[in-house]
Amino acid sequence: MSKTTELAKHLESLHINDMYKNDFYWTWDKTDEELEAIFTVADALRDLRERNQSTKIFDSGLGISIFRDNSTRTRFSFASACNLLGLEVQDLDEKKSQIAHGETVRETANMVSFMADVIGIRDDMFIGEGHKYQKTFMDAVKEGYRDGILEQQPTLVNLQCDVDHPTQCMADMLHVIHQFGGVENLKGKKVAMTWAYSPSYGKPLSVPQGVIGLFTRFGMDVTLAHPEGYDVMPEVEEIARKNAQSTGGCFKKVATMEEAFQDADIVYPKSWAPFAAMESRTKLYQAGDQKGIDTLEQQLLAQNAQFKNWTCSEEMMKRTKDGKALYLHCLPADISGLSCPQGEVDNSVFDRYLVPLYKQASYKPYVIAAMIMMSKVKDPVSALMALDRSDNKRKAF
C-alpha cells in the first residue's frame, strides 16, 4: 500500500464535509479534524510528487494572487501550489490595474474571477484592514456567483492578513510534526514564541498571533515573550488561552527572552511591531499623513533599539533543552553580522539551522495546495486514490 493510499484512508475517517466550497481565513475557524485533513492531504500530495505522479485535478482555471505587501516564499508557494494542481496563476498588480482610477473592490473581484477557482490574498500591514479587505473581496465574489455573473465561486486562501498567517503557521506545524515524529509526540513540548530585535520597524503581528493561535491546539506549552509595549491582539491571546485549556497544554506570557528560552524544545524569535503602534500607523495612512508616518517610524526604530539584547544568540540557545531546540523562522530573518550589524539571530545560529529552515519553508506549497484541494474537491479521498492509481506521470521519464 502506498503512503498516499494510507493517508487517503486516514482522511476518510475525518469529519471534513464543511471544508468543501469554504474559504480559509484563520486556523481557529477550522476544527481539529479539518486542520488534520490539511496536513494529511499536504503529505499525500508531497508523496505523489516525489513519486513523479501527476497531481493535476484541474485541466484549466486560474489561481488569482493579490499581494498588497511584498513576498517571496508565500508568492512562489501559492504559484507552486496552483501549478501542482493544474491551475494557471495570474497576479493582480494593483499598480497596473484600474484600481488607481477608482475601480471598486466589488468590480475588481468580479472582473478577475470569471475563470478563477481560488483567490489568494496577502494584506497584512494595517490593523483592522487586512482581514476586512479579504472579506469584502470574497463577499463580492459570492454575490457575483449568486447573481449569475460568475459560473463558479472561487474560494479564498488567506496568504497573510493583519490577524493570522495560516499558510505559514500550518507549514511551521507540519514541519514540527515531522521533526518530532508525529502529533502524538507534541504534547508538553515547550514552544518559545518571542519578540526579537530588528533594525527595521512595522513588521506584521500575524506570525506570532498565528503561532500562539495554532500551536496551543496541540497540548504544547506555549510561551509568548516580548518587551513591555509589544503586545499582540488581546483577542488572539484569549484564543490561545482557551485552546490550551481544552487541550491540556499551557499558554503564558513572560517578560524576558531568557525565561522563554529556558528548557524550550522549539524557539521562534521574530520581530513584530507593537499592536498600538500598528493601529496608529493605520490611522495615519488613512489620513494621508506622511509626516506623521515618518515621525512614528523614527519613534519605533528608537524604541526597538532599546531592546537589542533580545536576540537569538549562541548563549541564548544554550538555555534551551540540551542546547538543541528546534529553531523556527518564517524568513527572511534579520541576521546579525550578515544581513545587518545586529538583528534577530546570530549568523552562527542561523547557519547551523539553515537546512531545517529551508525544509520548514518547503511545506508551504503543499499546505496551500491542500487548502485549495479541500475547498474545491467534494470527494478528496477518491481524488487522491485516483491520482495514486493513475498512469499519468508528472514528467515523461
Encode pLDDT of 265-285 as tens digits. Answer: 999 999 999 988 888 988 998
Residue in this structure with the C-alpha cell 490595474, named with its chain if needed:
97
Task: Please check whether residues 185 and 221 belong to one and the same domain.
Answer: yes
Percent of the chain with pLDDT over 70: 97
What was the pLDDT predicted at 97? Answer: 64
**Together in a domain, 225 and 346:** yes
In a domain, 296, yes or no: yes
Mean confidence (pLDDT) of the chain: 95
The CATH code of the domain that includes 224 is 3.40.50.1370
Confidence at residue 275, expressed as pLDDT on a 0 to 100 scale: 87
| Rounded CA separation 210/272 (Å) | 13
The three three-digit cell numbers of residue 324, written as one number? 538543541
Q: What is the pLDDT along the chain (397 residues), one digit of tens a residue?
A: 899 999 999 999 999 988 999 999 999 999 999 999 999 999 999 999 999 999 999 999 999 999 998 899 999 999 999 999 999 999 998 776 666 556 899 999 999 999 999 999 999 988 999 999 999 999 999 999 999 999 999 999 999 999 999 999 999 999 999 999 999 999 999 999 999 999 998 899 999 999 999 999 999 999 999 999 999 999 999 999 999 999 999 999 999 999 999 999 999 999 999 988 888 988 998 899 999 999 999 999 999 999 999 999 999 999 999 999 999 999 999 999 999 999 999 999 999 999 999 999 999 999 999 999 999 999 999 999 999 999 989 876 5
Do 255 and 326 lie in a common domain?
yes
- The answer on 370 and 258 residing in a single domain is no
Q: Would you say 274 and 231 are in contact if contact means Cβ atoms under 8 Å apart?
A: yes
SS3 23: coil
Block residue for cell numbers 508557494: 77
Please tell me whether residues 19 and 156 are part of one structural domain.
yes
Establish if 12 belongs to a structural domain: yes
Same domain, 22 and 124: yes
Preceding omega of 166 cis (within 30 degrees of 0): no
Same domain, 218 and 89: no
* Dist CA 151 CA 144 (whole Å): 9
The C-alpha atoms of residue 275 and residue 279 are separated, in whole angstroms, by 6
Asked whether residue 63 is assigned to any structural domain, the reply reads: yes
Domain residues for 107? 3-164+364-389
Answer whether residue 181 is part of any domain. Answer: yes
Burial class (CB in 10 A: 0-12, 13-18, 19+), 341: exposed
In a domain, 397, yes or no: no
Tally of CB atoms within 10 A around 371: 28
* 396 found inside a domain: no
Tell me what pLDDT residue 184 has: 96
E-strand spans in 220-372? 221-225, 250-254, 266-269, 326-327, 335-336, 345-346
The answer on 184 and 156 residing in a single domain is no
Within this chain, do residues 177 and 326 fall inside the same structural domain, yes or no? yes
CB atoms inside a 10 Å sphere around CB 286: 11
CA proximity to 327, closest of 271, 250, 272, 264 = 264
Q: Which of 65, 95, 69 is nearest to 82 (CA)?
A: 65
Q: Tell whether 179 is covered by a domain.
A: yes
Same structural domain, 335 and 233: yes
Number of domains in the chain: 2
Q: Does residue 148 share a domain with residue 220? A: no
* Residues near 258 by beta carbon (within 8 Å), at least 6 away in sequence: 316, 319
pLDDT tens per residue, range 9-40:
999 999 998 899 999 999 999 999 999 999 99
115: left (phi over 0), alpha (psi -120 to 50) or beta: alpha
User: Does one domain contain both 211 and 350?
Assistant: yes
Q: Which cell goes with 6?
A: 494510507
Query: Which cell goes with 47?
Result: 508523496
Q: Is 26 helix (H, G, I), strand (E, B) or coil?
A: coil
Please list, residue by residue across 216-242, b when 16 or more beta carbons sit within 10 angstroms of its beta carbon and e when fewer do. bbbbbbbbbbbbeebbbbeebbebbbe
Ramachandran sector of residue 53 (left: φ over 0; alpha: ψ -120 to 50; beta: rest):
beta
Residue 205 falls within a domain, yes or no?
yes
CB atoms within 10 A of CB 90: 14
Cell of 65: 494572487
Q: Are 248 and 276 in contact (CB under 8 A)?
A: no
Q: Compute the distance between CA of residue 12 and CA of residue 102 in angstroms, rounded to an integer.
A: 47
